[in-house]
C-alpha cells in the first residue's frame, strides 16, 4: 500500500525541488556563519526536508484527486492509481488532508515567519491543480509552486528575505515551466478535446517548444545572475555546476521535436532530475570546499 501512495505522488520526482531547497538551506547557513553540524541546525534541516515531503505529497495527491475523472478519460493517465481503482478517491483525499496538516504543523516548529507564510504556500501548491481549467500559463503556476523551495528553506534558517535565494527561486520557476511545457506536448490533442488549457493547445507543438526554450534561456540568465550576486560564496564549483545544468537544458531541447515526442520522458525526468542533483551538489561544494 505504501508503494501505491509513493507512486500516486511520484515521490521520485522530489529530485526536482529538493536539491534547490538544500541550496537555500546551506546558503543561509553559510551567509549567517552558522555551524553546519550543530544539533539545532541538523534538527532544522530535518524539519525542512519533512516540510518539503509533506508539501509535495499534499500538492501531488490533490492534483491526482482533483483530476481523477480527467485522468480516467485519457489513455495515457487511465492507469494511474485513482482512475484504475488501486487507491480509492476518499483515501487519496484523506492523504492530502493529513499531509497538509503535517506541513502546517512542521512549519510551526521552524519559525514564526515560515509558519505565517505556510498557508499562502499551501494555497499556491494546491491551487495549481485548478489552473489547467482556466489559464494557458498553468506551467508557470507549477513553477511558482516549486520555486518556493529555495526561498522557503532560506527563510527557515534566517527568518528574513534576501535577493540571492529569490534568484534561485526564479531559476526554479522558469526551469520548471520550461520542462512542464515539454511534458504537456503529449496531451495536446486530449487537452483540446476536453477544453483544458496548456501552452501547446494555445501555440501548437512547435511554438510551445520555442517558448520552452525561452523559459530555459531565462533560467540560465538567473543562474548566472545568482553566481555573480553570490560571488563571495559561490566559486568555480558553482560555475561548473551551472555549465552542466545549462548543457542539460540544451540537450533536452535537442532530443524533443514537434514531430517526435518519443524522448519526452527522458527529457522530463532523467535529464532534469540529474541536472538538479548535480547542480545542487556542485553548488554545495562551492560553498564549503
SS3 track for 70-121: HHHHCCCCCCCCCCCCCCCHHHHHHHHHHHHHHHHHHHHCCCHHHHHHHHHH
CA distances from 13 to 48, 60, 89, 167, 227 (A): 17, 10, 22, 22, 26
User: Residue 152 half-sphere exposure, CB side, CA atoms within 13 Å?
Assistant: 33
Task: List pLDDT tens digits, range 208-236.
Answer: 999 999 999 999 999 999 999 999 999 99
What integer pLDDT is reported at residue 267 of this predicted model?
Answer: 79
Contact 64, 92 (CB under 8 A): yes
What integer pLDDT is reported at residue 6 of this predicted model?
Answer: 73
Task: List pLDDT tens digits, range 131-161.
Answer: 999 999 999 999 999 999 999 999 999 999 9
Q: Confidence band (pLDDT; 50, 70, 90) for 11?
A: confident
Contact 189, 166 (CB under 8 A): no
CATH code of the domain occupying 2-288: 1.10.357.140
Domain boundaries, the chain: 2-288
Q: Confidence band (pLDDT; 50, 70, 90) for 10?
A: confident
What integer pLDDT is reported at residue 37 of this predicted model?
Answer: 78
* Res 64 pLDDT > 80: yes
Global pTM?
0.95
Amino acid at each position: 500500500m505504501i508503494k501505491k501512495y509513493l507512486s500516486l505522488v511520484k515521490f521520485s520526482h522530489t529530485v526536482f525541488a529538493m536539491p534547490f531547497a538544500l541550496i537555500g538551506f546551506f546558503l543561509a547557513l553559510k551567509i549567517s556563519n552558522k555551524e553546519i553540524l550543530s544539533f539545532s541546525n541538523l534538527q532544522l534541516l530535518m524539519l525542512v526536508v519533512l516540510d518539503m515531503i509533506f508539501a509535495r505529497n499534499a500538492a501531488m495527491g490533490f492534483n491526482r484527486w482533483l483530476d481523477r475523472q480527467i485522468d480516467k478519460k485519457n489513455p495515457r493517465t487511465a492507469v494511474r492509481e485513482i482512475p484504475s481503482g488501486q487507491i480509492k478517491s476518499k483515501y487519496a483525499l484523506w492523504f492530502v488532508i493529513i499531509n497538509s496538516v503535517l506541513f502546517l504543523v512542521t512549519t510551526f516548529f521552524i519559525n514564526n515567519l515560515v509558519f505565517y507564510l505556510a498557508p499562502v504556500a499551501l494555497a499556491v501548491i494546491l491551487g495549481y491543480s485548478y489552473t489547467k481549467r482556466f489559464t494557458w500559463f498553468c506551467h508557470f503556476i507549477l513553477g511558482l509552486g516549486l520555486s518556493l523551495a529555495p526561498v522557503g528553506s532560506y527563510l527557515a534558517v534566517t527568518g528574513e528575505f534576501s535577493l540571492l535565494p529569490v534568484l534561485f527561486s526564479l531559476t526554479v520557476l522558469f526551469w520548471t515551466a520550461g520542462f512542464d511545457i515539454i511534458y504537456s506536448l503529449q496531451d495536446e490533442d486530449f487537452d483540446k478535446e476536453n477544453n483544458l488549457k496548456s501552452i501547446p493547445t494555445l501555440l501548437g507543438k512547435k511554438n510551445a517548444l520555442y517558448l520552452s526554450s525561452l523559459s530555459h534561456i531565462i533560467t540560465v540568465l538567473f543562474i548566472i545572475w545568482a553566481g555573480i550576486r553570490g560571488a563571495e560564496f559561490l566559486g568555480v564549483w558553482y560555475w561548473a555546476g551551472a555549465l552542466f545544468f545549462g548543457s542539460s537544458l540544451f540537450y533536452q531541447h535537442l532530443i524533443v521535436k514537434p514531430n517526435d515526442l518519443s524522448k519526452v520522458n527522458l527529457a522530463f525526468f532523467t535529464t532534469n532530475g540529474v541536472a538538479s542533483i548535480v547542480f545542487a551538489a556542485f553548488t554545495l561544494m562551492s560553498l564549503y570546499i
